[in-house]
Amino acid sequence: MTKKSIPVTLILYVFLHTVYLQAQPMGLDYIRQKLQAYCKTVPREEIFIQTDREEYISGEELWFNLFLIDRQSLKPSSGSKLAYFEILNPENKPIIQKRILIEGGSGPGQTVLPDTLKPGTYTVRAYTNWMKNFFPYNCFVKDINIYNPLNTTTFTRSERLSDSAGSHPEIPTAGLILTIDNLHKDTLEISVSADSKFRSETDNLLYLVIQTRGNIDHLSKEKISQDITIISIPKDTLSSGINQITFFNSDGPVAERYIYTPPKSNLSIDLQTTDSCKQRDKVNLGIEIGNGSSVRPASTNFSISVALAGENPEIPDLTDYLIFGTEFGSLPFNEIRGQRILRISPERLDSLLLSAKSNWIDWDKILSPGEYRFKYPMEKNEHYFSGQLITNNLQPAYGGEVLLLSVPGKEPVFQYTNTDSDGDFNFRIHIDEEVKDLIIQPDIQGKFRKIATGTSFSDQYQEKKIFIDSTNVMIPSFILQQCINFQIRRVFGSSSEGIRMTPVIPAPEKKRFYGKPDFELIMKNFIMLDSMQEVFFELIPRIELESKDSGFEMALFDPQRKRTEGSPVVMIDGVIIRDMSAIANLDPDLVEKIDVIWDKYRVGSYIFNGVVNLITKTGDFSCVPLPSDAVRLKYRVIDTVFSFISPDYSAAEVKNDRTADYRNTLYWNPSVLADENGKAHIEFWTSDNKGDFLININGISSEGKTVSSSKRLMVR
């Protein structure tokens, strides 16, 4: 395309887009249908992570639970089954990366912080593969402070810059002024000021749409035959959360505003326990969840931590987080940090929302005629393993080239894929804990291609501003105590890591991808021959391993002994071999059996001109060298998670044991399920630490009701 043609193309696009919109019946049903179709095609996932603490010492364990929630319904998500967890240093460099299994909308995890970390503010972030389509702001992020008593470097703090996509002042529409009065108890008043020209151009008619998280709260046609029109909306028709008020004319949206509607009801939680206790004392914690009515609460899953309390009395919770989520970028968290949203006046919140813009519900996108195309699919049952095919001079290969994936075995796995225009490729791998032996190679050899395996973690990051604290800054006393506690635990070799708790996910039933072969040779049923040439000549009908001047060649014949066009695909343990000398030089004693498919065989659109698969006794493709243009790697999709354990001082001899117990986290449980009456009970033991501990709970019911609470516990 020449430079001169670009403006013409743009003008043509704008013209066709305008004509399309004008041709549509811009009415309430049309707007509703477009929004519903958009939310179905472009669902939005939200993640919230509860960690056991907010401050850590280098070398400590960090425990966390990840909640995955559907933004539209606010219920635990049934979409993605895999989440990506990272800890970034102040310079946005990942120091820890894990893939976390999501079941029932949550996934536990833990990691050990490297003991070489410099003191500073680190970022915990998490996202799904689907969320990468809307990066870098559609992911959960929160700060934790990490200290290192053995590292005397200065403390590095960082602050994320505001999301420019989430802060857009309203673009005024000529002749139209919108004023919102959200201070009345039962009624929302919308004042529309429109001059005569604007009213004439719109035939004195506007469409009013109020939506919350993609759900329609209100639709109406509004006559604006006067200079000022007052519209009253009952507040009980509005969903709790951030409401988007939008007016449309026949061409599209002309004005919008955001307001906040507090929740009408939510789950309440009552923590029943003592306010203080002694060292190595048993603590009984009763938990009762209610919904303010006689109706029993739906099943609620929550995580709970009991850890040394920091200086900040307010820590992020799930209930507050979901009000804004990532839909509005980092707004308004930079301005209300450390405050509970429910304690902020409606006037203050509405003033913050004057410059808000949803990163998800964008009417220009919703009403556009184009199709939605996304690079990163939702990982529901399969993980997408990615990479890039490059040339010898490290440039992306052309699109459309075929790559092959084999998992060697006696029941081998085979896949193929095509590269895109950037040379990128994806293979689908079942989500389980099995360590898979992946072998990837180009379909055509000799094209001087290299395979660069990629990472499933995103390399897009929110911008940060970094601050270096003076060396004179005093370390908080509670951090000094945590440092001492950790050093004592290290001396005694203490750990809270218990038994494996990751659910055992069965791998798919293994079977040969080509099904039952036309011919199967079991080597032990015959006298051992000296070479593979003899094996094919004497024992396998219609297949011959021929010696040529340039090497060897595998030939396939029809039943009348007429040579067919093309050679069969030859494999060892399911891995395609192009150099037949590897077959000719193979010791027959290493081969367990040989499967043969005489006719053409299709896997998707990939066609085999017959198949010859030599299955070795080990079945692990270890008897021949790896093809020169192939890569081989061990790959596990999800990381193993272990349970949290702590001492039990029920027995007198254990309670009186002189082994020091200085746990900074007394208790962690990522999955406590309330019974049908909304009740749960846990117990734990305090340690040798004295001081304030914080009991912190976050959870969500199957109906999308959140619960968040905290309580102080004094150990004397």
| pLDDT level of residue 489 (50, 70, 90 thresholds) | confident
| CA distances from residue 415 to 377, 396, 509, 609, 696 in whole angstroms, order as listed | 18, 22, 16, 16, 46
**Stretch 607-631: mean pLDDT, rounded?**
94
The pLDDT of residue 156 = 84
425 lies in some domain: yes
| Best CA proximity match to 569, nearest among 609, 628, 625 | 609
pLDDT recorded at residue 643 = 93
- Give 87's strand partners: 96, 124
CA distance 98 to 502: 13
Residue 298: band (very low, low, confident or very high) from pLDDT cuts 50, 70, 90: low
In a domain, 561, yes or no: yes
Name the phi and psi angles at 113, rounded to 5: -75, 130
Residue-level pLDDT at 168: 52
The answer on 544 and 447 residing in a single domain is: no
Q: Mean pLDDT throughout 626-649? A: 93
β-strand partners of 63: 110
What is the band of 330 on the pLDDT scale with cuts at 50, 70, 90?
A: low
Q: How confident is the model at residue 6 (pLDDT cuts 50, 70, 90)?
A: very low
248 in a structural domain? no
- In a domain? residue 445: yes
Full-model pTM: 0.90
pLDDT in the model for residue 164: 47
More confident residue, 487 or 162: 487
Least confident of 70-79, 173-182, 276-285, 505-514: 505-514
Which position has the higher pLDDT, 160 or 30?
A: 30
pLDDT in tens, 136-187: 888 999 999 999 988 777 788 877 776 544 445 555 688 999 999 999 989 9
Q: Measured between alpha carbons, how far is residue 266 from residues 263, 554, 704 in Å?
A: 7, 71, 10
Share of the chain above pLDDT 70, in %: 91
CA 365 to chain centre: 24
Confidence of residue 476 (pLDDT cuts 50, 70, 90): confident
Section 231-244 average pLDDT: 95
pLDDT higher than threshold 80 for residue 556: yes
Residue with more model confidence, 266 or 28: 28
pLDDT of 3 > 50? The answer is no
Looking at residue 10, its pLDDT comes to 38
Burial class (CB in 10 A: 0-12, 13-18, 19+), 81: buried
Report which of residues 445 and 696 the model is more confident about. 696
Residue 202 in domain: no
Burial of 215 (0-12, 13-18, 19+ CB in 10 A): middle
pLDDT of residue 14: 42
State the chain's mean pLDDT as an integer: 88
Can you tell me the distance from the alpha carbon of 97 to that of 253, in angstroms, rounded to the nearest whole number? 42
Report whether the peptide linkage leading into residue 136 is cis, meaning its omega lies within 30 degrees of zero. Answer: yes
- Residue 292: pLDDT band (50, 70, 90) is low
39-53, 128-142, 156-170: which is most confident? 39-53
Spatial distance between the Cα atoms of 361 and 209, rounded to a whole number of angstroms: 12
Dist CA 84 CA 4 (whole Å): 44
Q: Which residues, other chains included, contact 254 with Cβ-Cβ below 8 Å and sequence gap of 6+?
A: 173, 176, 202, 206, 247, 248
Which pLDDT tens digit goes with each residue over 560-576? Answer: 889 988 899 999 999 99
Distances (CA, A) of 211 to 42, 283, 680: 16, 46, 36
Report if residue 545 sits inside a domain: yes
pLDDT band at 429 (very low <50, low <70, confident <90, very high): very high
The pLDDT, as a whole number, for residue 12 is 40
Ramachandran assignment for 280, one of left (phi > 0), alpha (psi -120 to 50 degrees), beta (any other):
left
More confident residue, 571 or 357: 571
- Of 146-160, 323-337, 408-422, 598-612, give the lowest mean pLDDT range: 323-337
Together in a domain, 534 and 621: yes
Q: What's the total number of domains in the chain? A: 2
Residue of 428 and 506 predicted with greater confidence: 428
Instruction: Tell me the per-residue pLDDT of 63-118, one tens digit each, with 9 for 90 and over.
Output: 999 999 999 999 999 999 999 999 999 999 999 999 999 999 999 999 999 999 99
Residues 535 and 619 in one domain: yes
- Residue ending a domain, among 424, 453, 482, is 453
Would you state the pLDDT for residue 310? 79
Choose the most confident range, by mean pLDDT, from 285-294, 425-434, 472-481.
425-434
Q: Are residues 534 and 447 in the same domain?
A: no
Q: Which of 604, 626, 648 is the last residue of a domain?
A: 626
Short-list 290, 291, 248, CA closest to 271: 290
**Residue 392 placed within a domain:** yes
Confidence of residue 8 (pLDDT cuts 50, 70, 90): very low
Residue 474 pLDDT: 63
Among 34-38, 152-156, 621-625, which stretch is predicted with the lowest mean pLDDT?
Answer: 152-156
Residues 308-329, mean pLDDT to the nearest whole number: 84
Quick one: pLDDT at residue 163? 57
- Is residue 607 scored above 60 in pLDDT? yes
Rounded average pLDDT over 182-205: 94
| CATH classification of the domain holding 564 | 2.170.130
Tens digits of residue pLDDT in 638-655:
998 999 999 999 999 999
Looking at the fold, whether 530 and 616 belong to one and the same domain comes out as yes
Could you tell me if 621 and 524 lie in one domain?
yes
Residues 445 and 523 in one domain: no
In b/e form, how buried is each residue of 37-67, taking b as 16+ CB within 10 angstroms? ebbeebbbbbbbbbbbbbbbbbbbbbbbbbb
Q: Residue 151's pLDDT is what? A: 79
Residue 389 counted as domain residue:
yes
- Rounded to an integer, the average pLDDT of 414-431 is 94
For residues 47 and 140, is the Cβ–Cβ distance under 8 A? Answer: yes
Q: Is 617 found in the same domain as 527?
A: yes
Identify the domain containing residue 535 by its residue range: 519-626
Decide if 283 contacts 681 (C-beta within 8 A): no
Q: What is the 3-state secondary structure (H, E, C) of 403-456?
A: EEEEECCCCCEEEEEECCCCCEEEEEEECCCCEEEEEEEECCCCCCEEEEECCC
- Same domain flag for 444 and 542: no
Residue 658 — very low, low, confident or very high, per pLDDT cuts 50/70/90?
Answer: confident
Q: Please count the helices (runs of H) and the strands (runs of E) in the chain.
A: 11, 43
Question: For the ranges 424-433, 445-454, 609-618, which has the lowest average pLDDT?
Answer: 445-454
Judged by DSSP in three states, 284 sits in: strand
CB burial of 545-580 (b: ≥16 within 10 Å; e: otherwise) equals beeeeeebebebeeeeeeebeebbbbbbbbbbbbbb
Q: Pick the last residue of a domain from 453, 481, 496.
A: 453
**pLDDT computed for residue 24 by the predictor:** 56
Per-residue pLDDT averaged across 106-134, rounded?
Answer: 95
C-alpha span between 619 and 409 (Å, rounded): 5
Distance in angstroms (rounded) separating the CA atoms of residues 626 and 632: 8
- Over 80: is that where the pLDDT of 375 sits? yes
Share of the chain above pLDDT 90, in %: 67
Per-residue pLDDT, 16:
42
| 297 pLDDT tier (thresholds 50, 70, 90) | low
- Do 533 and 449 sit in the same domain of this protein? no
